[in-house]
């Protein structure tokens, strides 16, 4: 168990460092993208508007209710993907 535990701790620390490097690389790609959708070198960056979710706790009854009045604020999101 001790060896497995040490191995896990080491791999977890390495994964966290790699995750930080991935986040830094992603931020750099997003900063370089000047259009809503760009692709190159097997990576694409897409910016899109995401409509806010419905806060169902505030809806007194769902039947016949226009839910847009209960939506939370929309936001822009950015997706970075590696091509397959």
**Same domain for 16 and 57?**
no
The residues facing 47 across adjacent strands are 78
- Domain with 15, as residue range(s), is 1-32
**Same domain for 23 and 12?**
yes
**Same domain for 53 and 64?**
yes
CA–CA gap between residue 28 and residue 22 (Å, rounded): 10
The predicted model scores a pTM of 0.57
Span 14-29, pLDDT tens digits: 999 999 999 999 999 9
Neighbours of 65 (CB within 10 A): 12
Span 32-80, pLDDT tens digits: 999 999 999 999 999 989 888 878 777 777 777 787 887 888 888 887 7
């Amino acid at each position: 168990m001790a060896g497995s535990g040490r191995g896990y701790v080491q791999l977890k620390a390495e994964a966290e460092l790699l995750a930080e490097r991935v986040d830094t690389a992603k931020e750099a790609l997003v900063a370089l993208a000047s259009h809503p959708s760009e692709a190159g070198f097997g990576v694409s960056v897409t910016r899109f508007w995401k409509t806010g979710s419905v806060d169902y706790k505030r809806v007194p009854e769902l039947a016949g209710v226009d839910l847009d009045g209960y939506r939370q604020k929309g936001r822009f999101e950015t997706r970075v993907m590696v091509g397959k």
